[in-house]
Amino acid sequence: MTHLHIVGSGAIGSLLAAGAEKHQVTYTRYPRVYSSLHHNEATKRCDKPTLDAFFSTPNESSIPNEATWLDGHSFPLQGAIASPTKIDADHVLIFPLKVYQLESALRQWLPFLHAKPVVVLLQNGMGGHEIARALLGDDYPLLLATTSHGALKKQRDDAQQQLVYTGLGSTTLGSIKHPNLCALADSFNADSLLKTDHLLKTDSLLETGSLGKTGKLSKTERESRQLVRAYALLNKTLPPVALSNNILHALWSKLAVNAVINPLTALNNVPNIAICDESYSEQIHDICQEFVAVAQACGEHFDLSEVKDKVIQVAKATGSNFSSMHQDVQYKRETEIDAINGYIVSMAKKKGISVPTNTLLVERVKALLV
């Protein structure tokens, strides 16, 4: 049985748990961090510590135990546990975290990835792929994702956290190593993979004609099927999910939207819709113009007018919602500015491009939390 493992209980992580609960997908939730005391004790006891030795007991009050769906229906969620049994090759491990949280979260899972389950990175900012490749290696089955679903966590009267699904969106998923996943998914029923037990544990002759002379799956074919199966699981959990043959372009496109909406709403303490006002048009133009120049230098081509139109479209669609960076500033939490506008600035420096507007935004957002 394919199993979804969700690390962290932020808004999107909790939304994934809610989707799994609603659509009867087997899932387990885990805290993002574990106690250093647990880690030290575990490493002293054995070379291959068990998960229960690694993870601290979750703070239940900070983890949503109930979700409210788009139709207003509310239902309970499983709590986060500190001791999963094992992560099999046909399971999926997803990290819906902020980029600056990713490295430490991935490091604590490294001892438990020997079976090479698919890892999915779901972040707002850029840089997560580089972090994962450095830790997992180039051969690891890795998917990158971006989503436009809206969700927020709020505190109930009893002080418990609740997840509220605020807006239907979509998720784009893809692999840099296997850009042909769309064609592979079309070649057979991806959903059927969820019903095929031990598909990835055997070399059985399957329903495709692409097998070699031995009738066994090659390493590349096996990994491709593993990734498509992960796609099918996520599409069942929180639809719709679309496979992309160019996931990096999709991530850059999301970066453009985030580079405008996040800092402007955070700095001006306004909901997303506010930036559609004419008073923001010059700033939006400058941010997007710099983005297009940097993206072009990095091999990603965008039309300036289309980028600006997309930003306004998203701002209108998300209306009264507040961006994640706005919320981070309001609650005095670390923001993702370094992985959003800061990423544009760092890439610009490498390419010798001047980006004064994005540079100033990074400085101003950071100054809010000093």
The string of pLDDT tens digits covering residues 187-217 is: 766 566 666 544 444 333 334 444 444 557 7
List every span in the chain annotated with CATH 3.40.50.720.
4-243
pLDDT, position 60? 54
Residue 91 pairs in a beta bridge with none
Question: What pTM does this model have?
Answer: 0.88
Distance CA 219, CA 234 (A): 23
Question: Which among 141, 138, 129 has a CA at the least distance from the CA of 230?
Answer: 141
Helix, strand, or coil (residue 12): helix
pLDDT, position 182? 86
Residue 190's H or E segment, with its range, is helix 190-193
Q: How many CB atoms lie within 10 A of CB 347?
A: 18
Distance CA 262, CA 324 (A): 7
Going 267 to 272 to 276 to 282, the CA torsion angle's sign is positive
Q: What angle do CA 182, 238, 9 make, to 5 degrees?
A: 120
State both tokens at 168.
Answer: 């239907």
What fold is seen in the domain 247-368? N-(1-d-carboxylethyl)-l-norvaline Dehydrogenase; domain 2 (1.10.1040)
List every span in the chain annotated with CATH 1.10.1040.10.
247-368
Q: What is the DSSP string of 16-52?
A: HHHHHHHTT--EEEE-S---HHHHHHHHHH-SS--HH
What fold is seen in the domain 4-243? Rossmann fold (3.40.50)
Residue 68's H or E segment, with its range, is strand 66-68
The amino acid at 351: K
In this structure, are residues 4 and 233 in contact, taking their beta carbons and an 8 Å threshold? Answer: yes
Residue 219's H or E segment, with its range, is helix 219-237
State both tokens at 33.
Answer: 């961090």
Per DSSP, 80 falls in state B
* pLDDT single digits (tens) 242-263: 999 999 999 999 999 999 999 9
Q: What is the pLDDT along the chain (370 residues), one digit of tens a residue?
A: 689 999 999 999 999 999 999 999 999 999 988 654 344 444 343 344 444 444 555 555 579 999 999 999 999 999 998 765 679 999 999 999 999 999 999 999 999 999 999 999 999 899 999 999 999 999 999 999 999 998 999 888 888 899 999 989 999 999 999 888 888 888 766 566 666 544 444 333 334 444 444 557 788 888 888 999 999 999 999 999 999 999 999 999 999 999 999 999 999 999 999 999 999 999 999 999 999 999 999 999 999 999 999 999 999 998 888 999 999 999 999 999 999 999 999 999 999 999 999 999 999 999 999 8
